[in-house]
Amino acid sequence: MATAIQNDNSDIEKWKLRRTIQYLSSLRGRGTSLVTMIVPAQSQLARTMKLLTDEYGLSSCIKSSQTRHNVQQALSSAQGKLRLYTQNTLPENGLVLYAGIVYDEEQHRETKISMCIEPLQPLQHGLYRCETHFITDFLQQQINDSTNDLHARRYGIIVIDGNGTLFARLDPKQGTTILKRIQVSLPKKHGRGGQSAPRFDRLRREAIHNYLSKVAEQAKSVYLNSQQHGLANIDGLIISGSANLKQELVKSDLLGNQIQTKIIRMIDVSYGADNGLQETLRLCADLFADIKLTQERQLLDEAFSQINLSTTTNEPNMISYAIAADEISVVLREGSSLIDRLILWENLATKRYAYQKRNEEKIVIVADNEQEAQKKLKALLNENENEQIDCIEEMNLIDYLTENYKVMNLRLYLVTDCSPEGQQLRLGFGGCIALLRYPIPTSIFDSLQNNNCADDIDTYDY
């Protein structure tokens, strides 16, 4: 079965760049000692090196000894990074260099930062800044601009019925956002009443007209941009509902020409409010086929279907999937070639800890925090609690996988939790699903079950 999202490495690279930008943006230095340097591809590296040398000489005039030391350290690190490149090996989009000593106020410690980033788009102008923070806004803008026109389309969705109306917007960056809700209690149809029946019907029609007028007024307020002379801030509008109210709304011309011309589809749904919104998204999957959120939903639907199929068709002691970090780590220990597709929630917080005692083999433990990892390690080795085993490596599991998925020959997909399917992945599957190439015996996970009382301990050598 073909996957909904192509295994496009560029999406993972964008995610890694976005994560790096978030990290750099959160860092602060003591004084104006953090260096940001933009090196366009057409610039001369010799001139850039001379600029750093001149700045190093000028830094000797800084009065604060600590700031002077930090600035000189940052400039030296920047020079060391640039020496790794020549004019011919400079990336075609240019280079962004970050260097400096950042200070963590919570842990009261300093960390040296020195990294080079290749931007997504060519850099036109050089820049040298020495501030209390790193300059990252232009990289974030490049990520936003890298989304093509088709993916940048935004749709408005109105779900209307006799109990209320929901206004939402589907955005490729933020997913589905509920903008406004209206609740109403319309008079019911009267089958009796004698001479009063026409009056009841007239009052009901009047209430419906007032309701539709209010819906149209709210639609204008959320879908029209007052700062752009009333132009619609959506590329298309979908109106759905379980009754005839949606047809009456469209035929009444209450929405106005700016919104009326944006209507691209009317959908009959069985529910209203949030359930009606989700049904509308499913029924319009063809319209949103090129939006990443829809691709994520289709990918996860396929994964859930395969898990259900595996549960019902495989032999009792065989399984063709793994869920949560512990099970996936066991499969990776056996060999990454077992995995056909690995789906991760993009904000997975599980970490990978590597321990080594003397000259013994490295032990890798997956845990949510260091305290849990130490607990698993001590229970695993059955050692004295006072004996200290050094942690030689600590990083987020998702960072490790995104750095090594090519070497491990994995088809890796990162998804958000902006959809119900994404939330189900995060809450019900621990943020991880591995779909295997062929069924494996469930006994492979016996170590997790046997050590359940010891916090599901296992070791991994991947």
Dihedral angle, C-alpha 44, 49, 54, 56, nearest 10 °: 150
pLDDT exceeds 80 at position 276: yes
Strand partners, 37: 97, 128
Q: Are 156 and 237 in contact (CB under 8 A)?
A: yes
Q: Are 355 and 460 in contact (CB under 8 A)?
A: no
What pTM value is reported for the model? 0.72
C-alpha to C-alpha distance for 317 and 94, rounded to whole angstroms: 54
Q: What is the pLDDT of residue 383?
A: 57
Average pLDDT over residues 259-280: 90
Compare 109 and 387 and report the one with higher pLDDT: 109
pLDDT exceeds 70 at position 129: yes
Q: What is the pLDDT of residue 3?
A: 44
Average pLDDT over residues 153-169: 91
- Looking at every residue in the chain, the average pLDDT score rounds to 84
Compare 307 and 6 and report the one with higher pLDDT: 307
Residue 60 DSSP class:
G
- For 330-369, write each residue's pLDDT tens digit: 888 888 889 999 999 999 999 998 888 777 777 888 888 8
Percentage of residues of the chain with pLDDT beyond 70: 87
C-alpha to C-alpha distance for 212 and 258, rounded to whole angstroms: 17
- For 380-425, write each residue's pLDDT tens digit: 776 555 556 778 888 899 999 999 998 888 899 999 887 888 889 9
Q: What is the pLDDT of residue 384?
A: 52
Domains, in order of start, for the chain? 23-145 (3.30.960.10), 155-186+209-289 (3.30.420.60), 297-454 (3.30.1330.30)
pLDDT exceeds 50 at position 455: no
Q: What is the pLDDT of residue 451?
A: 53
Q: What is the pLDDT of residue 449?
A: 62
pLDDT band at 182 (very low <50, low <70, confident <90, very high): very high
Cβ-proximal residues to 226 (8 Å cutoff; 6+ apart), any chain:
none
C-alpha to C-alpha distance for 440 and 357, rounded to whole angstroms: 32
pLDDT band at 459 (very low <50, low <70, confident <90, very high): very low
Average pLDDT over residues 54-76: 91
And the tokens for 365? Answer: 């433990």
Strand partners, 414: 344
